[in-house]
Amino acid sequence: MSTGHNVPEAREECRAPSPDSLLPMPVPVTRVRRETADVATIELTPASAFAFVPGQFNMLYMFGLGEVAISLSGDPAGDHRIVHTVRAVGAVSQAITRLRRNDVIGMRGPYGSCWPVAESEGSDIVIVAGGLGLAPLRPVIYRVLAHRERYGRVAVLYGARGPAEILYRRELEAWRRRLDVDITVTVDHAAADWRGNVGVVPALIPRTPIDPDHVIAMVCGPEIMMRFAIDALQQRGLALDRIFVSMERNMKCAIGLCGHCQFGPTFVCRDGPVFRFDRIAPFFNIREI
């Protein structure tokens, strides 16, 4: 379903990887913050300036172990620290979460397309994040809140498995205290002392005020969660070209050469990770081809 309106695409200029950047550059770790039992946020401070747009990712290289794609989760207007939030799922990501201050990691990037933050000015925004999916959307929240007057209603719907898995707790609390953004957090399961919402994040969509003709939705999380969220947004009347998603596929080169991240006729590293949903809807259920 398409509105036929002039709905933003992920911008062209954030899709242009530099082909000469295959060599990781060594960067010192300047801060490590433990978010949950298996998630850490690391800050890197490169020698030279680093710029990115919300939605992009870096390739992080643990010397002798391997390289993984990790989204940029910091403030795009911040100082030149580079922020990544990593969940330990395998050898490389586990090693990254064990880094300490003054350790050195290899990094190349930024790569990939971006969320349509600038193009959504004048629209309402609904951000739907599940689990670690909040990390690539956090730069959107920073950017939108820094230019709050340029947007209509802004809602952030965030779901975690349990209270102990909630990321960026202090920031969520600070954003919740603002009167100009609606922050709703839910958890899949909780003990009796949890006073917040219980249930999966797509279940928040039917009770969120949404004007389907004036909203842009940005969705990131496990694919099953994104599928239910997209269904719920469609039931609220959103056309598919008003919904943006960020996809994950295995990556090697990250510059459109090796084909590891193929997704339908697209490569996630080169054409994504952020896609306007109507562009990829036919391939969304296919895990690998």
Which spans of this chain sit near ligand FES (rule: CB under 6 A)?
Answer: 251-254, 256-261, 267, 269
User: Given the complex with ligand FES, which of 17 and 221 has the nearer CB atom?
Assistant: 17
- Where would I find the beta strands (DSSP E) of the chain? 25-34, 39-44, 57-62, 66-71, 82-87, 104-111, 124-130, 154-160, 182-187, 197-198, 215-220, 243-246, 262-263, 266-267, 274-276
Cα 224 from Cα 53, distance rounded (Å): 26
Q: Which of residues 223-262 bind ligand FAD (CB under 6 A)?
A: 248-249, 251
Shortest Å, Cβ 272 to ligand FAD: 7
End-to-end CA distance of the chain, in Å?
A: 25
Shortest Å, Cβ 47 to ligand FES: 26
- Residue 90 interaction partner, one of ligand FES, ligand FAD, none, beta carbon < 5-8 Å per kind: ligand FAD
Per rule CB under 6 A, is residue 57 in the interface with ligand FAD?
yes
Kindly give the interhelix angle for 169-177 and 134-146, rounded to the nearest 10 degrees.
30
- Residue 264 interaction partner, one of ligand FAD, ligand FES, none, beta carbon < 5-8 Å per kind: none
**Residue range at the interface with ligand FAD (CB under 6 A); choices 17-25, 46-54, 89-97, 232-240:** 89-97
User: Given the complex with ligand FAD, which of 94 and 234 has the nearer CB atom?
Assistant: 94
Length of the chain: 289
User: Given the complex with ligand FAD, which of 56 and 186 has the nearer CB atom?
Assistant: 56
Shortest Å, Cβ 72 to ligand FAD: 8
Question: Which residues have C-beta within 8 Å of that of residue 61, sequence separation ≥ 6?
Answer: 24, 67, 105, 106, 107, 108
Nearest Cα residue to 107 out of 72, 66, 60: 60
Give me the phi and psi of 231, to 5 degrees please.
-60, -45
Shortest Å, Cβ 231 to ligand FAD: 22
Q: Which residues lie near ligand FAD (CB under 6 A)? A: 57, 66, 68-71, 85-87, 89-93, 132, 135-136, 248-249, 251, 273
